[in-house]
Amino acid sequence: MNKAIKYRLYPTKEQAEYFLKCFGCCRFVYNQALNWRIMAYNADRTHLNYNDTAYGLTALKRIYPWLKEADSIALQQSLRHLDTAFSNFFKVKGSGYPKYKSRKHNRRSYTTINQNGTVAIIEGKGIKLPKAGIVKSHIHRIPEPGWNIKSTTISMDSDGKFYASVLYEYESNVIPAAIIDNAIGLDYKSNGLYMDSNGNSHTGHKYYRAGQAKLAKAQRRLKNKSIGSSNYKKQQLKIFKIHRHISNQRLDDLHKTSTEIANRYDVVCVESLNMRAMSNKGFGNGKATMDNGYGMFLNMLQYKLNDRGKYFVKVDKWYPSTQTCCSCGCTHKLGLNERIFNCGCGLTIDRDLNAAINIRNEGLKLLYEQYQNVG
Ligand SMILES: [Zn+2]
């Protein structure tokens, strides 16, 4: 995993001059290499690339010895960026031919890679950079143990302030216990939205049923009007407005509920939806599914959790959350109308609650495996 932290730099006059020199040299090698590529292509349709050492940094340094004063790793990075610009041009539709970098219009920055401590945070002092030494900085955020510096980008804004954006890399194969304790599983319900693994059932808002009754009444009235008449059209408009009102209320409710869950929990586990799973659960009725807007609800949850740096875990649709005992793990066939799950192990539990607990446990297992693979 990566994390970038931007620090303000307070360079000495010499260090500031050095940064400006690096910005200029990086731009220069980029433009020079681009020039060579264009010439080679025009001469005999040759495509040069980063690995053509005859046109690499060493060759450039031989011709322009003053390049040696700049950060060598940053110059290499600049050439790599040109390579990326070319491969994007060839592979990614819509990306243009690489352009020369102008002094005026390009961001003043250079990126250097940390090679065995060439970039380091010196607590209480600042940031150590190649050739610049320690540059004074306010280290407002000290890296945590296990965070390794991957690279840093030095930049200057239009006011002449300098910054270092330090990219940290860290391995994480342990999910903090606090996160696991704050996990929840949601089981889809046809008559409401979900049952959660703590036994709370979300049944939709109280106005919903009233809206449905109103709609049914208005639709009955429509049948008594002659098709195409002005009364018929008026009634159609009325029905449309009731529909819109219900769906707005529904949307408000989905937003409110998903925000509450995303604020309260660190991990939310759900079942991935598919039509088959729904019909298996007896929800072949398209109307009920649409009214519930469960798919929309899951999308909201996903982006709200992502925004908060939390976890949204989808459990495979084939996972038998309803048939598995959340206590002993054995499986039983359960009829559609059986509301209570009775297990030989002695567990008696609400069918949906059992499923929600299983979804949470399975989701946590998946999250754990994912972490292990990262580390
Ligand atoms: Zn059991």
Mean pLDDT of 250-261: 88
Distance CA(299)–CA(312), nearest Å, equals: 10
pLDDT at 293 (0 to 100): 74
pLDDT attached to residue 71: 96
- Measure the N-to-C terminal CA separation of the chain; round to a whole number of Å: 9
Contact 112, 130 (CB under 8 A): yes
DSSP states of 336-356: TT--EEE-TTS-EEEHHHHHH
* CA 277 to ligand 1 centroid distance, Å: 23
In DSSP terms, which residues pair with 332 in a beta bridge?
none
- With bands split at pLDDT 50, 70 and 90, how would you rate the model's confidence at 28? very high
Residue with the bigger pLDDT between 302 and 209: it is 302
Helix axis angle, 207-223 to 230-264, nearest 10°: 160
Residues with C-beta atoms within 5 A of ion ligand 1: 325, 327-328, 343, 345, 347
**Residue-level pLDDT at 282:** 44
pLDDT reported for residue 117? 92
**Cα-to-centroid distance, 31 and ligand 1 (Å):** 70
CA distance 180 to 102: 51
The model's pLDDT over 76-99, given as tens digits with 9 standing for 90+, comes to 999 988 988 888 788 776 778 898
**DSSP string computed for 135-154:** EEE---SPPPTT-EEEEEEE
Name which of 179, 362, 365 is nearest 265 in CA terms.
179
pLDDT confidence of residue 336:
78
Question: Residues of 297-326 as b/e, b for ≥16 C-beta within 10 angstroms?
Answer: bbebbbebbeeeebbbbbbeeebebbebbb
pLDDT at 112 over 90: yes
How do the residues of the chain divide into helix, strand and coil, expressed in percent and rounded to 5? 45, 20, 35
Give residue 332 CA to ligand 1 midpoint distance, Å: 9
Would the pLDDT of 245 be above 90?
Answer: no
Residue found under tokens 């398209």: 286
DSSP for residue 39: H
CB 7 within 8 Å of CB 140: yes
Sign of torsion over alpha carbons 197, 198, 203, 205: negative
As a whole number of angstroms, the distance between CA 170 and CA 147 comes to: 5
- Burial of residue 216 (CB within 10 Å: 0-12, 13-18, 19+) is exposed
**Whole-number pLDDT of residue 275:** 46
* Total-model pTM: 0.51
Would you state the pLDDT for residue 313?
94
Q: Which residues of 55-69 are buried (b: 16+ CB within 10 A; e: fewer)?
A: bbbeebbeeeeebee
The Cα 130–Cα 171 span in angstroms is 25
Of 113-127, 248-262, 324-338, where does the model show the most confidence? 113-127
Q: What is the pLDDT of residue 192?
A: 65
Q: Class of the 177-374 domain?
A: alpha beta
Low-confidence winner among 83-87, 200-204, 213-217, 262-266 (lowest mean pLDDT): 200-204
CB of 153 closer than 8 Å to CB of 164:
yes
- The predicted pLDDT at position 190 comes to 66
Closest by CA position to 157, among listed 117, 201, 107: 107
Tell whether the model's pLDDT for residue 269 goes beyond 60: yes
pLDDT at res. 272: 83
Domain ranges (residues) in the chain:
2-169, 177-374
**Residue 172: predicted pLDDT:** 67
Element (H, E) at 163: strand 162-169
From ligand 1's centre to the CA of 343, what distance in Å?
A: 4
CA of 341 to the centre of ligand 1 (A): 9
- How far, in Å, CA of 291 to CA of 50, rounded? 57
pLDDT for position 134: 97
Positions marked active-site = 187, 271, 352
How are beta strands 162-169 and 148-156 bridged, if at all?
Answer: antiparallel
Region 141-162: mean pLDDT is: 90
pLDDT at 296: 82
Which pLDDT score is estimated for 178?
Answer: 72
Instruction: Tell the residue number behind the tokens 């059992």, with chain if given.
Output: 354
Average per-residue pLDDT for the chain: 85
pLDDT at 204: 64
Q: What percent of the chain has pLDDT over 90?
A: 43
Share of the chain above pLDDT 70, in %: 89
How far is Cα 355 from Cα 358, in angstroms, rounded to an integer?
Answer: 5
**60 Cα to the center of ligand 1, angstroms:** 72
Residue range 154-186, pLDDT digits in tens:
999 989 999 999 988 877 666 767 778 899 999
How remote is the CA of residue 335 from the centroid of ligand 1, in Å?
17
Q: Any bridge partners for residue 110, and if so which?
A: 154
Average pLDDT over residues 179-205: 82
